[in-house]
Amino acid sequence: MIDMFAIAVCGHCDRKRIADLSSGSSLCPYCSKTQKTKNVKVLFSDPDQYVVRKAFESIDSKKYAEPERKKGADPDPVSTLMYRYEHAADMLEKLTVLAEGLTAMKGIFDEKDIEELFPGNGKKMMKMIISADIVIGSGYGKFKAI
């Protein structure tokens, strides 16, 4: 099945949100209710999550604050990490968010993990993270956030 992302309207709280239509159900980050993806009202969809995020941001000129989530596992930690990265104020904050997010997801990370998120920029970003002193080494080429 091809991944398909959408701007959808929650059937419980009527708020617009991003949903992964390729999964069987979707958890609303605002009201924490689960809805079958086949039943959500879709306003816009695209297989590229980045395109959907940009469309979602353009719905309103203000930036959306990341919603508070109830206790439990993040249904899409990579998406959450990228959201936090994109909305960080400056490069140091972006690098810190990236290092802390990868550490939270993987325990330790390396250049390949960054390369997966930012193709063609893994080496450059790893050097920037190391020079910013926001990580400690945890073996050859392996790091974790301080």
Q: Give the model's pLDDT for residue 63.
A: 47
C-alpha distances out from residue 141 to 51, 54, 113, 126, Å: 33, 34, 11, 10
Nearest Cα to Cα of residue 122 among 96, 89, 146, 98: 98
Amino acid at 77: P
Sign of the torsion angle spanned by Cα atoms 99, 102, 106, 111: negative
Residue 119: strand, helix, or coil? coil
Averaged pLDDT, groups of 10, the chain, 146 residues long: 81 87 84 86 88 79 49 71 88 94 93 93 94 91 93
Q: What's the whole-model pTM score?
A: 0.51
Task: Write down the domain spans for the chain.
Answer: 5-58, 77-145
CA distances from 96 to 33, 88, 123 (A): 31, 9, 16
